[in-house]
């Protein structure tokens, strides 16, 4: 199974969402999950993973299905030896599940593959750990949807923003 995850922050809690699907071209989720996290770390510049990682682990911990890949909103690697959220998630998952980072903005120095989808003129930036970044970029390119953001990445974003 493939999971895409995202987190939305509120004043006193956060909502983590997970969308599970079986194939890269799937248009619909096989399963969705939400988790409310009442204790959320404060945002510290350069240490975003300390805030986001516990939320992602909470929602992923509710799954019973074995995962092959998790897609995160952001970067796996920020540069040579500089871990992003995805690299910390890969470690937290005991290096047994590949992690793909899909970012909407360029981060100078990140070893990202640019992916243009549909009629978009702005690329997505794909990084990965546990699988080849070129393969990860091809997977993201093949995901369902005619716009810049794949359908199921839009869905996970909407679910966490609309969750309570």
**What's this model's pTM, rounded to 2 decimal places?**
0.96
CATH, residue 7:
3.30.2170.10
Q: How far apart are CA 148 and CA 120, in angstroms?
A: 5
Structural domain count of the chain: 1
CA 42: distance to chain centroid?
20
User: Residue 43 has what pLDDT?
Assistant: 81
Q: Whole-number mean pLDDT of the chain?
A: 95
% of the chain beyond a pLDDT of 90: 87
Q: Which residues pair with 113 in a beta bridge?
A: 126
**Domain around 121:** 2-162
């Amino acid at each position: 199974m493939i999971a895409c995850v995202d987190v939305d922050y509120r004043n006193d809690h956060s909502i983590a969402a997970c969308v599970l699907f079986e194939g890269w071209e799937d248009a619909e989720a096989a399963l969705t999950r939400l988790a409310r996290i009442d204790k959320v770390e404060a945002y510290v510049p350069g240490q975003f993973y300390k805030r986001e990682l516990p939320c992602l682990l909470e929602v992923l911990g509710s799954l019973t299905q074995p995962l092959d890949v998790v897609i995160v909103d952001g970067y796996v690697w920020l540069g040579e030896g500089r871990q992003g959220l995805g690299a910390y998630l890969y470690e937290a998952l005991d290096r047994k599940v590949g992690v793909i980072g899909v970012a909407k903005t360029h981060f100078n120095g990140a070893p990202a593959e640019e992916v243009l989808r549909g009629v978009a003129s702005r690329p997505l930036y794909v990084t990965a750990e546990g699988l080849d970044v070129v393969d990860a970029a091809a997977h993201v390119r093949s995901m369902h949807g005619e716009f810049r953001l794949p359908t199921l990445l839009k869905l996970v974003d909407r679910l966490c923003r609309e969750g309570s």
